[in-house]
Amino acid sequence: MTLSKGNLFANLAAILVCFIMIFPVFSTIVLSFKQQADVSHEPPLLFPCNTETEDFNLTACRFFVEGYERIISPKEDPDTLFGYKIDGRIINTYLPNTVFYTISTALLVTMFAGLAGYVFSRYDFPGKHLIMIGILAITGIPLLTNLLALFQLVVDARKFSAPFYEAWQASDTFSEDTITSMRNWQDRILLVMIYVGFFLPFSVWIVKSFFDAIPLELEEAAYIDGASPYQALTQIITPLAMPGLVASFLLTFVGVWNEFIANYLIVGSSKPALRGAIVGVYDLTGNNLINYQVLAAACVLVMLPVVLVFLFTRRTFFNAMTEGAVKG
């Protein structure tokens, strides 16, 4: 393609848009490597590279990892593998929580959406259209309006299970630490189940559209060869539907990783041990004395994994989203 005048203009416009979309992320990364003196410098500095005579001198750049140190807070501890232990709650508690919530929700959603999407694509039964439209309508319902009831459900579940824990504690079946951790795991699992129910409807539709694209003849050939419905599903259809399942996994992954309000309100505000990374970052600003390079470092640490996942799998994202929105 030749670079006509119109295309030159279009390229410039596209580069400008890219700049607007990327620059805030980039400058947050730069901010996270500044020291306090440069953070509060007036007028504000993009790069901490000014000298008394020059605005920008590459050799004068002052980059520090102070922000990350404050988030990670490594402490010397000869008992651990590398001689350090990590004291920062974002790293030692909140990020592992997020990883657990994210991976387990994405796996369960993908599995259940795969099964349901297959049925919707291949079987016919009374009430099917109604159920499908219902599920499509539910994709627009936010977590927000159900939060009060879900909160109440979790409280009820805690009340229901409390006598068991008390009995175990009274009879010394488990130590107190074990019981605390069991109570926490109960809440974590409940939160994952809430996420599964919330992210399922969208994934069902994504996966169904991928199943629809697989020719029925392949299955029929399998039946002729004597396969059972179960074998046809696991050995013929599932491998072909893999791109759809991967898309469901990734979209759920990003959604749960970034979820804030349910994690914060249902479990996180009362129990810090259950907070995910986003709630952890929000928690940092609870006291207004937070240094900006520290907040920026926390933001970078929390957004980095999900940005990397996206960059490596972007084609799947684009396919799934245009598939679901324009065609579906």
Partner 1 sequence: MHAIRRQSGFFARIFPFLLLAPALIFIFFVQLYPGLYTFYLSTRDTEGAVSKYIGFKNYDLVFNSAIFKESVVHTLIFLVGYVSLTLIAGLLVALVLNRKLRWSGLYITLIFIPWVLSDVIVGYIWKLYADPGSGLLSPFFALPILGLNGDPLLIASPPESYFEGIPFPPAPAMYYVIFAAAWKALPFTTLLLLAALQTVPKEVTESARIDGANHRQLFFNITLPLILPTLLVTLFNLTLGGMNGVGMIFSLTGGGPGSATEVLSYLLYSIGFGQLNFGRAAALSVVIFAVNLTLIILSLRISRSRAELI
Q: Report 77-106 residues binding partner 1 (CB under 8 A).
A: none
- Tokens 């500044």 locate to 34
Shortest distance in whole angstroms from residue 51 CB to partner 1: 19
116 touches partner 1 (CB under 8 A) = yes
Neighbours of 226 (CB within 10 A): 7
State which residue, 85 or 158, has the beta carbon closest to partner 1.
158
Neighbours of 9 (CB within 10 A): 10
314 touches partner 1 (CB under 8 A) = yes
By CB under 8 A, name the one of 52, 54, 79, 149 that touches partner 1: 149
On whether the CB atoms of residues 291 and 273 are closer than 8 A, the answer is: no
| Pair of tokens at residue 129 | 């259209």
By CB under 8 A, name the one of 90, 95, 150, 241 that touches partner 1: 150
On whether the CB atoms of residues 31 and 290 are closer than 8 A, the answer is: no
Determine the Cα–Cα distance for residues 276 and 256; give it in Å rounded to an integer.
Answer: 10
326 touches partner 1 (CB under 8 A) = yes
**Which window, 50-58, 61-69, 147-155, 234-242, contacts partner 1 (CB under 8 A)?**
147-155
Shortest distance in whole angstroms from residue 167 CB to partner 1: 26
Shortest distance in whole angstroms from residue 120 CB to partner 1: 8
147 touches partner 1 (CB under 8 A) = yes
- What are the backbone dihedrals phi and psi of residue 227, each rounded to the nearest 5 degrees, phi first? -80, 150
193 touches partner 1 (CB under 8 A) = yes
State which residue, 95 or 295, has the beta carbon closest to partner 1.
295
Neighbours of 207 (CB within 10 A): 28
SS3 34: coil
17 touches partner 1 (CB under 8 A) = yes
| Pair of tokens at residue 269 | 């505000």
Residues 199-218 binding partner 1 (CB under 8 A) are 200-201, 204, 209, 212, 216
- What are the backbone dihedrals phi and psi of residue 84, each rounded to the nearest 5 degrees, phi first? -130, 145
